[in-house]
């Protein structure tokens, strides 16, 4: 067995590592036998030299088996999840869990919190009074078996190597590495005990991958790694050059989710992406043979009320008040409202979606520091979308806020984030 320094040198020099070397490295670091400075050196070597498909698979497996792997083999139905690489206003997870579970597929979801300018599923769910995302793995297993879906945060038992490695990557400039991103995502997702996974890989101004080409590279890496580990995986590349849907902010996004589940009108971008992702999940689960059939089945769960009923069951099972599903007034509401208006006539030509996300963070909808407390009530309602025509004075963004001291900076950022081109 080579020493740690030999493993570092081999990757530094661009040589391919044996899977057993990667497994030993991850295990040693997780136990605390390998110090941060040596693991940081290896991460930088990977960042600069990359990993082969076989190495990425080995790293994923080592991280996956550093902790518990949920076993749902006793359930007679398919187990499918969705993972998004993150965006602004991306609220599909609660809707998908409800729709796909209502169609007879198990949906075990282990989700994350907001990161940088992007929102987090757990933060949105916790806008519902009483909703718990800190369930144990035992409760998680039982809930998926009983009602078909559960949405929780990463527990200490799930991929502990990933938690430790991510913290080190965050402070060593090695986050933006496709093999490291791939192993991080897939180790957590495969620990859920799923049979199949649909990936929503974002590109554009509000995504971590700004170009479609970079998003495609990540999608290919994620898909090939999942398939190499015996899972059915498909990836959709989706646009994040504007917020998804109209709502940005935790309670506001839950309201938009519930409007969809109740069959009320919502932004086409949100409805279409949700139905597309649901269709792919249903097809991977074997419930339908085509994407078109999957969309129809997903739409049927909305039209019949089955998806809304499933959402209420999820809320109740996780400690929330299921009455919020039909009464949005039971969710937190900001005290004040302001409107950002168009300074001129023209067409909405571009949006700096990352800047919009950061404005929401400054407003209190996200975290500027790890220990910051999120205000679930605050956020935005986007009154325009790309391509819309406006006249001077038209509403661009409706701002819901509590702390007036943050408002001027938030409005300034929103104004500069939206580009209007004269007709």
Average the pLDDT over 206-220 and give the result: 95
pTM of the model: 0.93
pLDDT per residue as tens digits for the range 223-247: 999 999 999 999 999 999 999 999 9
pLDDT of residue 423 exceeding 90: no
The domain locations on the chain are 4-50, 80-325, 333-421
Candidates 188, 189, 280, 287; catalytic one: 188
The active-site residue out of 117, 164, 169, 189 is 169
3-class secondary structure per residue, 290-351? CHHHHHHHHHHHHHHCHHHHHHHHHHHHCCCCHHHHCCHHHCCCCCEEEEEECCCCEEEEEE
Angstrom CA distances, 51 to 35, 44, 265, stand at 22, 12, 46
Q: Do domains 80-325 and 333-421 have the same CATH topology?
A: no
- Count of other CB atoms within 10 angstroms of residue 368: 9
Kindly state the average pLDDT of the residues 325-336: 97
Give the span between the Cα atoms of 410 and 52, in whole angstroms: 44
Q: For 54-71, give one letter per residue: b (16+ CB within 10 A) or e.
A: ebbbbbbbbbbbbbbebe
Mean pLDDT in the chain?
A: 95
Q: Is the pLDDT of residue 339 over 70?
A: yes
Q: What does the pLDDT read at residue 370?
A: 64
Strand order in the sheet with 336-341: 247-248, 379-382, 395-401, 336-341
Does residue 169 have an active-site annotation? yes
**What span, in angstroms and rounded, lies between the C-alpha atoms of 290 and 271?**
19
Residues 6+ apart with CB under 8 A from 207: 85, 86, 87, 215, 240, 353
Indicate the CATH number for domain 333-421.
Answer: 3.90.1170.30
- CB of 401 within 8 A of CB of 248? no
Strand order across the 80-84 sheet? 80-84, 196-203, 232-239
Whether 341 and 150 have beta carbons less than 8 Å apart is answered as no
Parallel, antiparallel, or unpaired for β 346-351 and 247-248? unpaired
CA–CA distance, 28 with 1 (Å, rounded to integer): 13
Residue 243 has which token pair?
A: 């917020």
- What percentage of the chain exceeds 70 in pLDDT? 100
Q: Indicate which residue of 83, 117, 202, 310 is catalytic.
A: 83
The 10s digit of each residue's pLDDT in 108-140 is 999 888 777 887 899 999 999 999 999 999 999
> Angle at Cα 375 formed by Cα 373 and Cα 376, nearest 5°?
125
Instruction: Give CA–CA dist 6/102, Å, rounded.
Output: 52
> Is 83 a residue of the active site?
yes
Q: Is 170 exposed, middle or buried (0-12, 13-18, 19+ CB in 10 A)?
A: exposed
CATH of 80-325, one of 3.20.20.210, 1.10.3720.10, 3.40.1030.10, 3.50.50.60: 3.40.1030.10
pLDDT band at 94 (very low <50, low <70, confident <90, very high): very high
pLDDT at residue 39 is higher than 70: yes
pLDDT at 120: 87
Q: Are 355 and 413 in contact (CB under 8 A)?
A: yes
Active-site annotation holds for 184:
yes
**In this model, does residue 203 exceed pLDDT 70?**
yes
Dihedrals phi, psi of 334, to nearest 5 degrees = -70, 155
pLDDT digits (tens, 9 = 90+) for 363-386: 999 987 767 889 999 999 999 999
Which of these, 235, 244, 170, lies nearest to 201 by C-alpha position? Answer: 235
Choosing from 90, 162, 276, 352, the catalytic residue is 162
CA distance linking residue 221 with residue 331, whole number of Å: 39
CATH class of 4-50: mainly alpha
Confidence of residue 318 (pLDDT cuts 50, 70, 90): very high
Q: The tokens of 267 are what?
A: 């932004």
Task: Please tell me which residue in 184, 187, 205, 269 is annotated as part of the active site.
Answer: 184
Contact 243, 284 (CB under 8 A): no
The C-alpha atoms of residue 147 and residue 11 are separated, in whole angstroms, by: 46
């Amino acid at each position: 067995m080579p020493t740690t320094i030999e493993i570092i040198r081999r990757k530094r020099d661009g040589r391919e590592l044996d899977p057993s070397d990667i497994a030993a490295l991850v295990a040693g670091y997780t136990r605390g036998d390998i110090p941060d400075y040596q693991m940081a050196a290896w991460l930088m070597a990977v960042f600069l030299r990359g990993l082969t498909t076989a190495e990425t698979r080995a790293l994923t497996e080592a991280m996956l088996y550093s902790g518990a792997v949920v076993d749902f083999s006793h359930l007679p139905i398919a187990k499918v999840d969705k993972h998004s690489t993150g965006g602004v206003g991306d609220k599909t997870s609660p809707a998908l869990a409800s729709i796909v579970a209502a169609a007879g597929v198990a949906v075990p979801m282990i989700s994350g919190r907001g990161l940088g300018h992007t929102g987090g599923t757990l933060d949105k769910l916790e806008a519902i009074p009483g909703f718990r995302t800190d369930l144990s793995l035992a409760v998680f297993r039982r809930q998926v078996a009983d009602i078909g879906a559960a949405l929780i945060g990463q527990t200490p038992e799930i991929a502990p190597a990933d938690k430790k490695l991510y913290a080190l990557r965050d402070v060593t400039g090695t986050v933006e590495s496709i093999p490291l991103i791939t192993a991080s995502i897939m180790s957590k997702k495969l620990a859920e005990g799923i049979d199949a996974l649909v990936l929503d890989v974002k590109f554009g101004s509000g995504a971590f991958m700004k170009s479609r080409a970079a998003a495609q590279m990540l999608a290919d890496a994620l898909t090939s790694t999942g398939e190499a580990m015996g899972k059915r995986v498909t990836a959709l590349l989706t646009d994040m050059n504007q917020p998804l849907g109209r709502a940005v902010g935790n309670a506001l996004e839950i309201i938009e989710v519930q409007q969809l589940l109740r069959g009320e009108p919502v932004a086409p971008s949100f409805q279409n992406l949700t139905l597309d992702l649901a269709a792919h999940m249903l097809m991977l689960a074997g419930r339908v043979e085509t994407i078109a059939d999957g969309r129809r089945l997903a739409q049927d769960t909305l039209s019949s009320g089955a998806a809304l009923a499933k959402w209420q069951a999820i809320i109740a099972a996780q400690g929330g008040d299921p009455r919020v599903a039909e009464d949005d007034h039971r969710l937190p509401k900001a005290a004040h409202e302001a409107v950002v208006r168009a300074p001129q006539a023209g067409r909405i030509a571009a949006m700096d979606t990352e800047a919009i996300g950061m404005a929401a963070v400054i407003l209190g909808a996200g975290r500027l520091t790890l220990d910051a407390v999120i205000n679930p009530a605050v956020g935005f309602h986007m009154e325009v979308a790309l391509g819309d025509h406006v006249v001077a004075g038209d509403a661009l963004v409706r701002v819901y806020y509590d702390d007036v001291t943050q408002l001027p900076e938030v409005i300034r950022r929103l104004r500069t984030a939206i580009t209007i081109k004269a007709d």
